[in-house]
Structure formats: C-alpha cells, structure tokens
Chains A and B, each alone.
Chain A
C-alpha cells in the first residue's frame, strides 16, 4: 500500500506537469534529489505535510515575519508566505550558476565604476550614451562618491529563472539596496525547525557563510584603528514593506538599526543620536534608495535620508554601501548590452545569459520590436517610472498599433523583453502538490577574493496556475532554496572573523528607539490600568444590575467618573448625566473606538506601534505575546457586536497577555538602558494611573456604604484586596486602605514602592551630570517619594465642611505634577531629536511628467 501511494504522489505530480519542470532533467527523468524529496514527503504523507504547513504559517505569524503590502486586504502587515516544499538545485549545477553570477557581479561593478568614472563604455560605443545620461539612476552628485575598496558594488542580487533550454537566465538586477536575504534566512530557520526530516539523506549547504562574508567586508570598510566600529543598518522605517527584514538582519548581523532622523552630519562626520550622546558612525548599510539618501544633494523632499551624507562620504568619514548612485545599473536597458560589456571588459562571453532585451532607442531594434510585439513585454527603461509592463500578446491589433506609435514617439524610453517561459516547481497549494512557475533571487557580496554567492536564495513561486506573479507586493509564495549534494564533498570552509567576533561590542541605542521603548512601557501600563479599572467597574455594574436596587447608586457614578478621569476621555461620565443612566454604550466606545484618544483600543494601537518601531529589541517569546495582544486588539475593534460577558473575557485575556509581556521583559531582558527606559515608562504611568483613581474616588467624603464599595474597588485596583483581608479581615476602613496602598513598602503596587523603584531606575539611566549629583528627573522623583513617605494618613482622611478631602487631594495632585515633570524632563534629556526637517526650496518632483 505504502509503495503504491509513493508512486502516486510523484506520479500524480508528474501527470500535472504541462511545461518543463524543475524535477525533470533535460532527458525527462526525475532528478535524484527531487526523487528523494518526494519519497520523504511520501513518508510524511500529504496530511502531515499540510499540518506542518499550518504550523509554518502560525510560526511565521508568531515570529512577526511580514512583508507589508500597500493597500492590501490585510492592511499593512501581511504575513510572509512560505511553501513547505523547498526549491532544490544540485550543487554541481549551482557551481556553474555561481560562476555566472560572479561574472555578472564583476561586470556590473566594472560598469558602475566606469559610469561614475571615465565613461569609456560610452566613449568606445559599447553602450549608447542614453544609458547614462537618460538614466534616472545616474546621480550627477555621486560622480565622486567611492568606497575605499576595489569593488564598488558590494551587495548584489539577481533575479533568475530557468529558460526552456534548461539554463538559468538573469531576468533582473538589484544593485542599490537588494532585499530578500533576511527572508531567505528566516525561511531556512523556520524550515529546519518545523520540517527538518525533509532534508533526510541530503546535504543542504549553509547560508551563514554569506552573512559572515558580509560582516567581514563591512569590517574591512570600517575604520581599522577602532576595534569596535559603529555600524548602522539604515531603514526607511516601519512603514517600509520589508521593515521586518531590516530589523531582523540588523539584529542578526549585530548592527544598530536606525532611521535617517537618528543620524546627523556634523563637521563632515555622520553621528548617531544615541541616548549616550552622539556617536561617530563608521559604516552604513542602507536600505533606502539612492535618491532619498541626502535631501541636500539628491531629492530635496526626502525625509528618509541624512542631509550632508554625500559630503561626509566624499570626505572619507563614512562608508555607505552600496554607494549612492548604484541604482544606475537597475535601468532595464543594460540587459541588452551585457554581452558586449562582457566582451569589452573581460574578453569573454557571458556564462549565464540575460533574458533577451531590446532597447528601442536604436533603429534596428525598434523595428524588430515593432514586428515582434506579440512575443514581447514592453517596459520603461527607467525602473523608477510608474509604468506597468505591457504584454504584447494580450493586446488587440489596434492596441498594438497604438503601443508601437507610443514607443516610436520616445523610443529611447522603452525596452522590450522576450516573454520568457519559466520552469514549474512542486508547490503545496490547497493541500495538493502541483506545479507552479517559480523564479529565484540569488545574493552576492563582494569579498577580498571577488564575489561570494549565498549557497541558497529566495525562491518565489506563483500562487496561481499558468501565470507568474513574481512580486511579493501582489502576493506570492516564497520557498526555501536548497543547494543539495549527497554528502559534504568539500569540507565547509571555516569562516573566521578577521576582527573581534562581536562586531558592535556596544550597540548604541538611537534616541528614537529609546523614546519608543519608554512609550512601550507607558502605553502597556496605560492600557492595563484602564482595562483593570474598567473590569472592576463592569463587575460592580453587573452586580448592581443583577442584584441591586432600582436606583443607580452613588458609588457606581463615582467609579464611572473615575474611569473617565483615568482614561482622560472627557467629558465622558463627568458631564453627561444620560450616560450614567445607560453606561454600556460609553463603555463599549471606551473599549473599541480606536480613533478616540484614551480608549483601550487607541492605547493598544499606540502600544503596538511603539513595539513595532523597535522590533529588533524583542526576542521570539516576546514577539509571540505581542502577536496575541494584536489578536485581542482586533477582537476589541468589534466590541460593539459583543455582549458584555465576551467583552470582559477579551479584556481579561488582553490584560493577562500584557502582564505576560511585562513578565517576559522583566525575566529575560538584559538590564541595559532599553530595559530601564521601558521600566521607567511603565512606572511613571502606573503611578499616575493609581494616583488618578485614588484622587477621584476619595477626593470627597461619601457615605460609609458608598466608601466601602470604593475602598474595595481601589484595593482590587492595587492588587491589594487579599493582603488587606489578611490583615483587617472584612472591616473596611479608608485609613487602613490608604496606609496600605500608599505606604506599604513591601507591596509592588503601593505608591511608596513604585516611587522608590522609579527613583532607582532613573539612577541607572545615563546621566549627563558629573559625579554623584542628582539630575533634574531624579530630584523630582525623590521629592514625590519623600512627600508620600512623610504623609500623615490620619490628616489625609480629614474633610472640610464641603466634604472635600483637601489634604489628600493636594498631595496627590502634587505627586501627579512631579511625576509628569519627570516624564517631561526625560523627554528633554534623551529624546529631543524629533525636530522637523524643512527644505528651503519648495518640493520639486523631478519624476512628474508635468511640463
């Protein structure tokens, strides 16, 4: 039975093949490694494969692996899609491909150096001058931007696919800030964790040598006199589609993740605005495109870059890779001239062909394109234009004629490419293994000897049949890519880092990240404070509705008003009497209205944003909890359709998960500045929220029965009801309660404990004060702490003729004021980098076609 199904799985796949397929060799035989993979999958069984697939999906989600799709149905964060069936390439074949890729990288590097140098390719008529001067990637200010190494093109990625002749073809070049290597790494990590047995009987080459090689190259570029160079991974920020990868690679490689605003140029040197002050930056690996790098000399409206960066590079004070200007090679026209460029520079033919490409700026080529338009894809030569590729065969006769005359109007702007057929590869789609078109991105990094090729890559396969959708933006599946051999034929080269193993011994914390961490603490606690108190209030409400009398009781009114004060959602229950009659609609709004500041939904949203902005700080355990909070957040948004029971359950779940978030942080996060900032934010918020509730519950004297209800609610709010009962049994006294929630040193939710903690935390943050002196924030915290310690509880509970507890009210107001000043002072001390950048010159969009 087993053998029969075994034949069936491979057999049924083979029956579905209607194009040339990766599993077959040129003679139509199944390649041995694919055979092995199929028999392993057979052993696992389709059901198991499918269930592993589900595990992979949830693992990727938990790990927060996303590729953000603009305007996608899932909003911003789209989970990364990984097919459990890898893409296999046999080592011997890969060696040939690698040679082709290395030659290609070398040629592009030579071309890059020539274009920004003598331009002999143009002078000697190897390429038309339009490829340089009509190329939107040719940045004139970059003509004297050079890395101090022989190769300028440090990172290179090539998109490849298998042509009908069985050879790999280069479809496209990525030369400025290639993306995808981090996703390849994460694919490998997830695959080896969740479906390790697929590799049974095969040797799969490792990816890590590629990254080691990258680290070595970066080290060589950095200032050799320093043993701990400052290396920055420059990202456009969390709204970039590949932000996950930026954060992932920065932490994998041990570099500081920074945005343009985190850096500044001063005296021709690039500095990182870190919480310990300005730190000189030695090397920048950029993930922002060329024209956004420096608003002074490139796009003036760029907010992603660093003004003065080009000047700093010219002075040799910082190395940026790839050097700005390298997008010049991404112009599609170059594919048409690679053969000639190869002959010119190396005197040899291309090892790996490019997809056949015609640049329409030449008469002969233009005529060819016009005659063969039905076989061709028409693109603009400049990648930057928003033009979408046109498939000639999909056009009607008259549309073709229109297209041709449009090209003839400005022929130099267009290129045509042969519509290549791609190979298909086994893909798991809806529980079946079926052939789907696939293409592969390979990654190279320049090293001392030439170009190092990653032993693997990022394969993307089309989710739909008979059509290839390569871009992740439009939804595609990724695959782990295995370079396989029978055994370790060559002993894996042992990679030794040439300089200290820890690349960045001290990873600087950019001020922006510091601010985000502080707000992670604050929003987390703020959300928990509102949830906690809301649950207390809902419980009292429910009790009253089910068992209470007809008249709304005074204590409910006070609790509801405290809720408004606490969440800062005025007017809320303060002015609107009618809301007090039916509090549920307001409560639901306080839970779910994400566009109203102060609500639970708004606070969680802000929390998730802050967490996302420093995602390189979190390990997987933490990220998993964040994912659960994210799920709860989405449930909450629909709270209006939930009954109060379910709302409470969701709220409790969220509260627990946020508690867990804080728990993991306190158990696992290193006690460095990041931790102390987060703790400080949490404590500030916790003190403020507890103070707010005490103040609004007890600012005025109420009847004993009402106060008893409030005392109980307040004790629960401080996690102190149990301790209280152990001491005082069922006797409720405001004096005993205040003593406990304010002055009990051993209890983490008492004011004195929290204030002491805050004071200690502040002492651990970097101080610009000399010696042992207290800085402003510490003084404020000390003052608040001392005020509480000196408080006389019996005096605090006294009230005047108008039943107001003025002493208590004033003390609490003072503590509130002092603690908000702490927050304000910290902002000035550590986070004052958020100045807006303006260009003197109005926005000038050179891409617009406006005349």
Chain B
C-alpha cells in the first residue's frame, strides 16, 4: 500500500513564547519493506535552520529553535510511504524456536547478546516486578514457541484491557495500567515489553502510524488517524518480529514505522523546551491517506 502521510502538531500559547527548542522524531524509517519518499517538515514560524541527525537507534531526528515571540507553533510533517504487502512479523512459516531454546541462544551467543542486551534490561519507562511477571506467566511456556507465546500475551492484553484514551499520560506507571485494565497503545506496548523482558527476552518499542478504516459505507474523516505504537520482539534465528497488542494483529501494510527504541522516552515524536510563563493548548492531526 502507498500512503500520503501528514502529521500536524499545533501549539497555542496563552503568553508569547520567546525562545523555543525542539527535537522531532517524525521521519518514517526506510526498511526492507517500507519506502519513504518526499519527506518534508514545515514549521511556522519558520526557524533559521532545521538540523537533521541520526540518533543512537538509527532514527532520524530534526532539531530547531525559535527566538522571536510567537503565540502559535505549527509543525507539519508530510511524506509518501509505501508498505510492501509482505511485512515483518508475518512469516509464511512461523518461527518455531521455543522459549527455552531462545533463552539458551541469547545467553550463549555473546555477539547476539551484546546486540540485543539493552532491549532485555529495564529502561526508563519499562521496569517490572513479580506482579507483572505473574500477569504474563501463563503466556510463556518453556516448551512453546516464543512467537506464539508473545502472540498469546498480546491477545491476553487485547481481551482483558479496554482502550480508554484519556485514562493515562506518558507518565502513568505500567502497574497502574495493569491494575485499571485500561490505557492506550503506548501503555499496552510498555506493558507487553515489560512482560517479555521479565522473562528474559528482548523487546523494543516501535512508534509509527496506523491507517484506520472508516465504518463500512462511510467516508473517512480527516484527521481521524493517529500516531500509534506497538512492539517488536527479537526471535533468534528469525529476527525482529512486530506485534500490535492494542489491536491484537500482526502489524502489516497499514502499520507505518517511524522509529524504535527501548521505550517511548527514546522516540518521543516531539519534544520541546520553552521559555515562557503561562499555559498552552495542543492539537495533533494525523492523516494516513491511501494513494490509489
């Protein structure tokens, strides 16, 4: 599938902002099954420079700063992204390596361990304890294939949790989400990652977009899509496999990958430091429009 992707973020400030520094992580990655063309960023008011940088995880970031008073800021990122129908994580022959075998491989293959270690360790937003382990215990059977175990976990999260947009913030701890059985894609991804790491397997956080389909027979509404998050698990002998615990699907051609890291804190789409008093309002509009 081919999409026109637009991501518009608008800030409105009560008081003029004189100085602003921002770091964006909005560029779709170029992957074997994902092409990105015509990526542009336009910022209003226009900064003197936008500096591109490749971060530690290979994600593309953009830095800019503003130094004259402004009361609104608009960041618009657009691109044309093509997803091939063959996608990651949906192999024609599913990986059969068991949890037990995977664990052995990870502990004995040193170069492998070095390359995935930071996705096994706790990270700023992903920590775990016995309670989290207990939640996932029935999903991880030593003799079952790791792939199916992760699938079971995602399915468990999908069936037991409610998608409730305003329940959580970026700072809501995983345990709170677990107790309330509700949250958004970011919470479900963090929960899934903490469970997978609790059993010693590497999992990373993927940020991107998902094309939403309108109800049958209806027109798609503008701005109805959203940025999305899911997870990727490293399965020895196979590689990184994506899972979407929010929708209980294997990410396919409707999932567009922007960035990955240990958790959300590594791939925050838009970070900013302002010098001002007063409050601000935020509006985000995302459109993932198929190009026929």
Assuming the contacts A835-B275, A840-B273, A851-B173, asked whether A846 and B124 have C-beta atoms less than 8 A apart, the reply is: yes
- Is B71 in contact with chain A by the CB < 8 A criterion? no
Closest Cβ neighbor of A130 among chain B residues: B117
Instruction: For B121, list chain A residues within 8 Å (CB).
Output: 130, 133-134
Closest Cβ neighbor of A413 among chain B residues: B122
Which of chain A's residues 104-146 have a Cβ closer than 8 Å to chain B?
122-123, 125, 129-130, 133-134, 140-141, 143
Assuming the contacts A296-B271, A835-B275, A851-B127, asked whether A140 and B55 have C-beta atoms less than 8 A apart, the reply is: yes
The CA of A250 and the CA of B129, in the complex, are separated in Å by: 47
Which of chain B's residues 1-52 have a Cβ closer than 8 Å to chain A?
11, 18-19, 21-23, 48-49, 51
The CA of A366 and the CA of B172, in the complex, are separated in Å by: 35
The answer, among B55, B117, B173, B275, for a CB contact under 8 Å with A141, is B55
Assuming the contacts A268-B51, A307-B21, asked whether A836 and B275 have C-beta atoms less than 8 A apart, the reply is: yes
A835 touches B194 (CB 8 A): no
B63 touches A311 (CB 8 A): yes
- Is A89 in contact with chain B by the CB < 8 A criterion? no
Instruction: For B104, list chain A residues within 8 Å (CB).
Output: none
- How many B residues touch the partner, as a band? 35 or more
Instruction: For A840, list chain B residues within 8 Å (CB).
Output: 11, 270-274, 280
- Is A476 in contact with chain B by the CB < 8 A criterion? no
The CA of A146 and the CA of B189, in the complex, are separated in Å by: 35
Instruction: For B132, list chain A residues within 8 Å (CB).
Output: 851
- Is A429 in contact with chain B by the CB < 8 A criterion? no
Closest Cβ neighbor of A143 among chain B residues: B56
B108 to chain A, nearest CB (A): 13
The CA of A266 and the CA of B132, in the complex, are separated in Å by: 45
B117 touches A133 (CB 8 A): yes
A315 touches B48 (CB 8 A): no
- Is B292 in contact with chain A by the CB < 8 A criterion? no
The CA of A606 and the CA of B95, in the complex, are separated in Å by: 70
Instruction: For A297, list chain B residues within 8 Å (CB).
Output: 23
A129 touches B117 (CB 8 A): yes
- Is A842 in contact with chain B by the CB < 8 A criterion? yes
Instruction: For A842, list chain B residues within 8 Å (CB).
Output: 169-171
A843 touches B117 (CB 8 A): no
- Is B94 in contact with chain A by the CB < 8 A criterion? no
- Is A849 in contact with chain B by the CB < 8 A criterion? yes
- Is A705 in contact with chain B by the CB < 8 A criterion? no
A841 touches B48 (CB 8 A): no
Instruction: For A123, list chain B residues within 8 Å (CB).
Output: 111, 114
The CA of A122 and the CA of B266, in the complex, are separated in Å by: 22
The CA of A141 and the CA of B125, in the complex, are separated in Å by: 17
A851 touches B117 (CB 8 A): no
A851 touches B23 (CB 8 A): no
Which of chain A's residues 242-285 have a Cβ closer than 8 Å to chain B?
264-268
The CA of A297 and the CA of B51, in the complex, are separated in Å by: 14
Instruction: For A846, list chain B residues within 8 Å (CB).
Output: 124-125, 265
**Is the contact region of chain B dominated by helix, strand, or loop, or is it mixed?**
mixed
A500 to chain B, nearest CB (A): 32
Instruction: For A133, list chain B residues within 8 Å (CB).
Output: 117-118, 121
Which of chain A's residues 198-229 have a Cβ closer than 8 Å to chain B?
none
A850 touches B114 (CB 8 A): no
- Is A839 in contact with chain B by the CB < 8 A criterion? yes
The CA of A123 and the CA of B63, in the complex, are separated in Å by: 32
Instruction: For B23, list chain A residues within 8 Å (CB).
Output: 296-297
- Is B128 in contact with chain A by the CB < 8 A criterion? yes
A837 touches B274 (CB 8 A): yes
Which of chain A's residues 793-851 have a Cβ closer than 8 Å to chain B?
835-844, 846, 849-851
B273 touches A839 (CB 8 A): yes
- How many A residues touch the partner, as a band? 35 or more
Which of chain A's residues 467-485 have a Cβ closer than 8 Å to chain B?
none
- Is B174 in contact with chain A by the CB < 8 A criterion? yes
- Is A779 in contact with chain B by the CB < 8 A criterion? no
Instruction: For B113, list chain A residues within 8 Å (CB).
Output: 129
Q: Which residue among B110, B113, B129, B280 has the maximum number of chain A CB atoms within 10 Å of its CB?
A: B110
B266 touches A266 (CB 8 A): no
B49 touches A268 (CB 8 A): yes
Chain A 303-321, CB within 8 Å of chain B: the 1/0 string? 0000110010011000000
- Is B137 in contact with chain A by the CB < 8 A criterion? no
Closest Cβ neighbor of A837 among chain B residues: B275
The answer, among B127, B268, B270, B271, for a CB contact under 8 Å with A850, is B127
Closest Cβ neighbor of B19 among chain A residues: A264
Instruction: For A841, list chain B residues within 8 Å (CB).
Output: 170, 268, 271-272
**Is the contact region of chain A dominated by helix, strand, or loop, or is it mixed?**
loop
Assuming the contacts A268-B51, A850-B127, asked whether A844 and B274 have C-beta atoms less than 8 A apart, the reply is: no
The CA of A268 and the CA of B169, in the complex, are separated in Å by: 32
A356 to chain B, nearest CB (A): 26
Instruction: For B22, list chain A residues within 8 Å (CB).
Output: 296
The answer, among B48, B175, B272, for a CB contact under 8 Å with A851, is B175
B88 to chain A, nearest CB (A): 24
- Is B60 in contact with chain A by the CB < 8 A criterion? no
Instruction: For B272, list chain A residues within 8 Å (CB).
Output: 296, 839-841
Instruction: For B277, list chain A residues within 8 Å (CB).
Output: 835-836
Assuming the contacts A296-B273, A851-B175, asked whether A844 and B124 have C-beta atoms less than 8 A apart, the reply is: yes
B129 touches A851 (CB 8 A): yes
Instruction: For A463, list chain B residues within 8 Å (CB).
Output: none
Instruction: For B117, list chain A residues within 8 Å (CB).
Output: 129-130, 133-134
The CA of A296 and the CA of B265, in the complex, are separated in Å by: 12
Closest Cβ neighbor of A140 among chain B residues: B56
B171 touches A838 (CB 8 A): no
B273 touches A838 (CB 8 A): yes
- Is A510 in contact with chain B by the CB < 8 A criterion? no
A300 touches B53 (CB 8 A): no
A311 touches B171 (CB 8 A): no
- Is A612 in contact with chain B by the CB < 8 A criterion? no
The answer, among B53, B127, B170, B268, for a CB contact under 8 Å with A849, is B127
Assuming the contacts A297-B23, A835-B276, A840-B273, asked whether A266 and B53 have C-beta atoms less than 8 A apart, the reply is: no
B207 to chain A, nearest CB (A): 14
Closest Cβ neighbor of B119 among chain A residues: A133
- Is B65 in contact with chain A by the CB < 8 A criterion? yes
Instruction: For B128, list chain A residues within 8 Å (CB).
Output: 851
B216 to chain A, nearest CB (A): 38
B56 touches A308 (CB 8 A): no
Chain B 263-288, CB within 8 Å of chain A: the 1/0 string? 00110101111111100100000000
Assuming the contacts A143-B56, A268-B49, A296-B23, asked whether A836 and B276 have C-beta atoms less than 8 A apart, the reply is: yes
The CA of A521 and the CA of B125, in the complex, are separated in Å by: 49
The answer, among A265, A266, A844, A851, for a CB contact under 8 Å with B170, is A844
The CA of A774 and the CA of B129, in the complex, are separated in Å by: 69
Q: Which residue among A122, A133, A315 has the maximum number of chain B CB atoms within 10 Å of its CB?
A: A133
B191 to chain A, nearest CB (A): 10
The CA of A267 and the CA of B265, in the complex, are separated in Å by: 26
- Is B220 in contact with chain A by the CB < 8 A criterion? no
Closest Cβ neighbor of B66 among chain A residues: A266
Assuming the contacts A264-B19, A837-B273, asked whether A308 and B65 have C-beta atoms less than 8 A apart, the reply is: yes
Which of chain B's residues 91-132 have a Cβ closer than 8 Å to chain A?
110-111, 113-114, 117-118, 121, 124-125, 127-129, 132
Closest Cβ neighbor of B169 among chain A residues: A842
- Is A295 in contact with chain B by the CB < 8 A criterion? yes
B273 touches A307 (CB 8 A): yes
B129 to chain A, nearest CB (A): 5
The CA of A802 and the CA of B51, in the complex, are separated in Å by: 72
Instruction: For A311, list chain B residues within 8 Å (CB).
Output: 51, 53, 63
A267 touches B114 (CB 8 A): no
Instruction: For A837, list chain B residues within 8 Å (CB).
Output: 273-275
Assuming the contacts A841-B268, A843-B171, asked whether A835 and B19 have C-beta atoms less than 8 A apart, the reply is: yes
Instruction: For B21, list chain A residues within 8 Å (CB).
Output: 265, 296, 307-308
The CA of A17 and the CA of B49, in the complex, are separated in Å by: 68
Chain A 284-300, CB within 8 Å of chain B: the 1/0 string? 00000000000111001
Q: Which 10 A-B pairs have the closest CB atoms?
A: A846-B124, A140-B56, A307-B273, A307-B21, A133-B118, A835-B275, A840-B272, A851-B127, A129-B114, A308-B21
Q: Provide a sorted-by-A list of 5 A–B residue pairs whose CB atoms are within 8 angstroms.
A: A140-B55, A267-B49, A315-B51, A838-B275, A846-B124
